[in-house]
Amino acid sequence: MEVILLERVAKLGQMGEVVKVKDGFARNYLLKRNKALRATKENREKYDGMKADLEAKNIQAKGEATKVAEKIDGRNVVVLRQASETGQLYGSVSVRDIMAAFEADGVSISRQQVLLDAPIKTIGQHTITIAVHPEVEVNVSVTVARSEAEAERINRGEDVNSRQEDRDAAAEAIAAAGEFFDPEAADNQGEQEEAPADEK
C-alpha cells in the first residue's frame, strides 16, 4: 500500500513523502495513529492543503521536544532487580520498567518514545535511545543493579560480576588446595603402602 507520511517516520521517510509499505503496517500503525494517509488522488490534494499547517505544528512540536531532550540527554536512571552471581537477571527490564524509572525521576515519556530492541537481561549500565520527537533523539543510560550500593559501584565503572574480593578468595582457595595436595605427602603415603608388601 502506498501512503503519504504526515510526519517523519524513522527508517521510512520524511513528512510529505509517498512510500510503499505492507498493508498491515499501514492499517495497524501509520493510518491508525494519524502518521499517514492513503496515497489517493483526493488525499494528495488534501495533504497539499494541510502541508503548511502540518509543517508549522511540526516546528512547534520539535522546539518543545528539543527543550525536553536537553533535560534528559545523558540522564541516568536506576532499575533494581534480582539477579544471579554472574549478573543474569531473574526476568528482564522492559520498556514499561524504563518508563516507570523516568516517571520516578520526574520525567514523563511514552512507550513509543523508548527505542529498545530487546529487553535488558543483565546487570550493568545500558545505553537507551529516547525519541522525544520523530526528529529529536537522545541517549540516556539505565543502570540495572541488585541494590542502590551496587548501582553506585556500576556508575563508578566497577565490574560487579567479578569483584576483587571474589578474585582474592579464589586465589586463597587455590593456595589452600595446593597445600592440601602436597606432593611430598603423597610420596610418604606411597612408601607406607609398599612396606607391607615387602614384609610378605
pLDDT surpasses 60 at 26: yes
Q: So what's the pLDDT on residue 168? A: 60
Q: Please, what are the domains in the chain?
A: 2-72 (3.40.5.10), 76-164 (3.10.430.100)
Cα distances (angstroms) measured from residue 88 to each of 72, 84, 123, 146, 161: 28, 5, 6, 11, 10
Mean pLDDT for all residues in the chain: 80
pLDDT greater than 70 at residue 58: yes
Most confident of 35-39, 58-62, 184-188: 35-39
CA distance 47 to 52: 9
**pLDDT at residue 199 above 50?**
no
> pLDDT tens for residues 116-173?
888 999 999 999 998 888 888 899 999 999 988 888 888 887 777 655 455 566 666 6
User: What average pLDDT does this structure show over 61-69?
Assistant: 83
Does the structure show a pLDDT above 60 at 24?
Answer: yes
Helices (H), the chain: 23-25, 41-72, 95-104, 148-155, 164-180, 183-199
Nearest CA-CA partner of 114 in 92, 142, 150, 79 = 142
* Residue 137, CA distances (Å) to 41, 65, 73, 119, 172 in order: 34, 9, 9, 20, 49
Q: For residue 92, give every residue at least 6 positions away whose Cβ sits within 8 Å of its Cβ, in sequence order, or none.
A: 119, 120, 121
CB 59 within 8 A of CB 136: no
Identify the pLDDT of residue 22. Answer: 92
The CA distance from 45 to 39, in Å, is 10
